[in-house]
Homo-oligomer: A and B are copies of this chain.
Amino acid sequence: LITATAGQGLIRMGQPITVVPLVLSGTLKVSRENEEGQELLLYYVRPGEGCAMTFSCGLMAQVSLVKGTAEEDLLILCVAVAAMEEWMQKYSSWKRFVMSTIVNEFMDVIKSVDEVTFKKMDERLTYYLKERSRLSGSSLINLTHQQIADEMGTNRVVVSRLLKKLETEKRLLLYRNQIKLLKDL
């Protein structure tokens, strides 16, 4: 059992994988980072879920290809790679869990590709904001423009520009470190 506080880094790209995490509570953010520290969100791991990248890399005794950060305070159960390999043989329910995790998160990554390739920035931004609001269950989003830009793999100025436009369209309200979504976003 391991705990982590919000914002804490759990694994960086290139580190070897010795255990696979099962999230018990909180949210684990899985992202990809380039040399300059620019980041792109790949998927979230939520309570009851495992992380596809660690499953598959663990099974191949490889290093991590992604970065893991505690999005909210985290409680995770770490399973040794050896144990998880054994369970794959022994328990078909565990095998199904692992495989379905891989498929689902593979799907999420493909959706990321789609988003980035085919969607325009304003669509992506409103989708992102709605998703954030849905996950937190609140119409208030406590993030800086920079944080949003980082997660979306774009530029702070671009985010500010589009948010400003959405504000003049009366679809949201801007405050410092906070965005209030209005009902007709």
Task: Give the interface of A toward B (CB within 8 A).
Answer: 32, 34, 38, 40, 42, 52-53, 56-57, 59-60, 62, 65-66, 88-89, 95, 99-100, 102-103, 106-107, 109-110, 112-114, 116-118, 153
Stoichiometry (number of copies): 2
Taking a contact as CB atoms under 8 Å apart, the answer to whether B118 and A153 are in contact is yes
A109 to B113, CA, bound (A): 8
Query: Using Cβ atoms and an 8 Å threshold, which residues of chain B touch A59?
Result: 99, 103
A88 to B98, CA, bound (A): 14
A95 to B37, CA, bound (A): 36
Query: Using Cβ atoms and an 8 Å threshold, which residues of chain B touch A88?
Result: 95
Query: Using Cβ atoms and an 8 Å threshold, which residues of chain B touch A53?
Result: 106
A59 closest partner in B (C-beta):
B99
Q: For A38, A62, A109, A110, which residue has the most chain B Cβ atoms within 10 angstroms? A: A110
- Chain B nearest CB from A89 CB (Å) reads 8
Query: Using Cβ atoms and an 8 Å threshold, which residues of chain B touch A65?
Result: 106-107, 110
A56 to B57, CA, bound (A): 15
